[in-house]
Chains A and B, each alone.
Chain A
Amino acid sequence: MIQHHPGDELLLPLAAGRLNAGQAVVVSAHLETCAECRLRLHTLQALGGALLEEAEPIPLDPGAWERTLQRVDGAAHEPAGAASATASRPHPLLPAGVRWPASLQSCRVSDWRWMGPSMRYARVTVPHDPDSALYLLRIGEGRSLPRHTHGGIELTQVLCGAFDDGRSVFGPGDFDAADEAVHHQPVVQAGATCVCLAYVGARMRFDGRIASLIGGLIGM
């Protein structure tokens, strides 16, 4: 049962196409597992449709119709049903049975790298936004990150396992947005390794190196 969802201050820019690529990947990973939020997003996209309908029409250039026909000439109709293969697929980086987010489909993901006992991270590179600071974090049960705060916004989607950061428990499918105001110490609960997809603000805020970023977090 999903308890924590992205707020409308994230869903609205996503619907409007104004959310940066890294944040969009994390919020989209949540949407894939949460029907309630898909419905919320649908309403906000309908708002886009309503604004499109009420937009002041601007006549197209002369010849626009002919040029549009040229664009489609010879183009075969795409058959229905071919779109968006979002089927659950296993992935070597995740424990068996855990769904790999479809929003990572076009991203490049590194192998697991060591950042502490029972702690690993993998760097996620977003196409067209290579500076986006996006990571998979894998933390063993009972392990904790030291108490820390954030330079900017931190978005987390729990893929499996659960952690408790003193504010609440975040389990599979849960989403969390933490900002400068949040000081927390996530502790992974007993029973399973926790894997999260995390956006930790613009990389430029740190010194550009994952070691110092994560190291800063875990006190290396």
Chain B
Amino acid sequence: MPTDDEIKTWMRAVAESADRPAFAALFRHFAPRVKGFLARAGTNDALAEELAQETLAALWRRAAHFDPARAQVSTWLYTIARNLRIDHYRRTGGVPAEVGEDWDPEQQPADAHLTPEELLHAAQRERSVKRALAELPPEQAQVLRLSFFDEQPHGRIARDLDLPLGTVKSRIRLAVKQLRRILERYQP
């Protein structure tokens, strides 16, 4: 398992000198995880493979955009994979006439464009998210996981946790609130 520092060193090598061995190391670590994440999120095997390759190709092409002060590599790759997946479903599920319009997956509205002064706080929080997720009560961690992994997250959360659909919204709020509360504790 590479350390955060190794991953950042590889990223820098790719961005600054188009370093193939560093790219290969990033590929070995991340491509199977992107594929695994997408499969867990209900993407079929062939598409998960395709999107995992495309996500890593985007890493190579856009390496210069990556700002280590702004995000973890895993979060950055997550947003790329997510946007490629949205893009794919919109193209194939949408109206054929609309396909071909310029739709830059990097410019999905969902991207959080933070200003420099917002970064420090954000970066500190981000590093703690994994730990905070592990500390959440299992039911709340499940609410968050299902939100990412299920096609119909609200319906699924209601079913799995045996809740009326109307209660799901407040459960999501509660789970995120608890996550933020734990993160606050980690703030220096």
Residues of A that sit less than 8 Å from B by CB: 7-9, 11-19, 21, 24-25, 27-29, 31, 35, 38-61, 64-65, 67-68, 71-72, 75, 77-80, 82-84, 86, 102-103, 105-106, 127-130
Q: A58-B48, A72-B60 are in contact. Are A41 and B65 (CB under 8 A)?
A: no
Residue B172 lies at the interface, judged by CB distance under 8 Å to chain A: yes
Chain B residues within an 8 Å CB radius of A53: 33, 74, 130
In the bound complex, residues from chain B placing their C-beta under 8 Å from that of A58 are 32, 35-36, 39, 48
Are B145 and A51 neighbours in the complex by a CB distance under 8 Å? yes
Q: In the bound complex, how far is the Cα of B177 from the Cα of A72, in angstroms?
A: 41
Contact B112 A45 (CB under 8 A): yes
Inter-chain contact A77/B130, CB cutoff 8 Å: no
Contact indicator A71/B54 (Cβ below 8 Å): yes
Best-buried of A8, A47, A75 by chain B (most CB within 10 Å): A47
Interface contact tally, CB-CB below 8 A: 219
Which of B36, B112, B125, B173 is most buried by chain A, counting CB atoms within 10 A of its CB? B112
Between A and B, 17 residue pairs with Cβ closer than 8 Å are: A8-B177, A16-B147, A16-B148, A45-B75, A45-B78, A45-B110, A47-B133, A48-B82, A49-B71, A52-B34, A58-B32, A58-B35, A68-B53, A80-B65, A83-B106, A128-B98, A128-B103
Query: Please, which residues of chain B bring their CB within 8 A of the CB of A17?
Result: 82-83, 85-86, 110
CA distance A64 to B52 in the complex (A): 9
Known: A39-B122, A52-B77, A60-B31. A25 touches B64 (CB 8 A): no
B158 contacts chain A at the CB level, 8 A cutoff: no
How many whole Å from B101's CB to the nearest CB in chain A? 5
Q: Which residues of B have CB within 8 Å of A65?
A: 24, 27
Instruction: Assess A78 versus B113: contact at CB under 8 Å? Given A12-B176, A50-B129, A53-B74.
Output: no
Residues on the B chain within 8 Å of A127, using CB: 90, 94, 98, 101, 103
CB-based contact B109/A43 at 8 Å:
no
Q: Are B176 and A35 in contact (CB under 8 A)?
A: no
B79-99 CB contacts (< 8 Å) to partner A: 79, 81-83, 85-86, 90-91, 93-95, 98-99
Question: Does A18 lie within 8 Å of B72, measured CB to CB?
Answer: no
